[in-house]
Amino acid sequence: MTASSNSPAPLRLLAVHAHPDDESSKGAATMAKYAASGVDVLVATCTDGSRGDIQNPAVEDEPHPKRDMAGARRLEMERAAAILGVRQRWLGFVDSGLPEGDPLPPLPAGSFATLPLHQAAAPLVRLVRSFKPHVILSYDENGGYPHPDHIMAHRVAVEAFEAAGDASRYPDAGEPWEPSKLYYDRAFSPERFRALHFALEEAGLQSPYAERLAAWLESDAEGHTPPPATHPTTTQVDCGDFFEVRDDALRAHRTQVDPLGFFFAVSPEMQRRAWPWEDYSLIRSRVPSELPERDLFAGLR
């Protein structure tokens, strides 16, 4: 609270993402809902996205992305943030790219995923101490999926959550601030994909999720837990009213997202009926927490 105001300061949410577009495909409806309710929402984008390939056939012949992918993605990120109603900060690292081949080639020297943790986390610690979030959102140990930048984004988010309140760590990164809660995003929740898959089948529509679900079922049959189930869902945010906003933000990332592709296979109306939530795992809480939750700020209001 401030001395000059009778109203409490807004709650603050920091979402840590690897590349521009990740914020719109993971937790975007949650962020839009909270932003619309007065929560101060900030997206920290770790890398410039410069090594992303063009995924949208309609953009393949456009000169700007071919000449300056990072510049094109900065403009896309600006549009997406405005659609979601959130603020955004670049942490200033270079995209590592997604290595392919057998054996995998080394990552580009100096790219985000190759850096020592202390160096990669320092800008985020500084941001946490200046923005003072109550809640931090990030990825699990697998990065949501095993892209090296996603895994590093997970590592720096956990490091910042643990270190930002400790004055002895990162002493040149500002006055300490201790966030209250750390969540991992579960955008790839098997439960959600199953619900959407069966909703499509019941409507007589083709499901793009069949192959993924089959792989998970095979993994279960062999006694292995698929990576997305590493952490169970503890928290579901009802944000179905913001699915259209999320989709508009995702479409703003024109180089990376095919508007006829996977992410738009299920209409917002069908999603609201089948799975009107976004799913999270509460990993750390410094305030009393009773599970399950319906609010990332449970215990803080």
Q: Which parts are annotated binding residues for Zn(2+)?
A: 19, 22, 150
Residues in binding site: 19, 22, 150
The secondary structure of the chain, three-state, reads CCCCCCCCCCCEEEEEECCCCHHHHCCHHHHHHHHHCCCEEEEEEEECCCCCCCCCHHHCCCHHHHHCHHHHHHHHHHHHHHHHCCEEEEEEECCCCCCCCCCCCCCCCCCHHHCCHHHHHHHHHHHHHHHCCCEEEECCCCCCCCCHHHHHHHHHHHHHHHHCCCCCCCCCCCCCCCCCEEEEECCCCHHHHHHHHHHHHHCCCCCCCHHHHHHHHHHHHCCCCCHHHCCCCCEEEECHHHHHHHHHHHHHCCCCCCCCCHHHCCCHHHHHHHCCEEEEEEEEECCCCCCCECCCCCCCC
Write the burial class of residue 80 (CB in 10 Å: 0-12 exposed, 13-18 middle, 19+ buried).
Answer: buried
CA 146 vs CA 72, 222, 227, 239: distances in Å:
25, 21, 10, 27
Q: 């160096």: which residue's tokens?
A: 119
Nearest to 42 by CA among 94, 85, 92, 93: 85
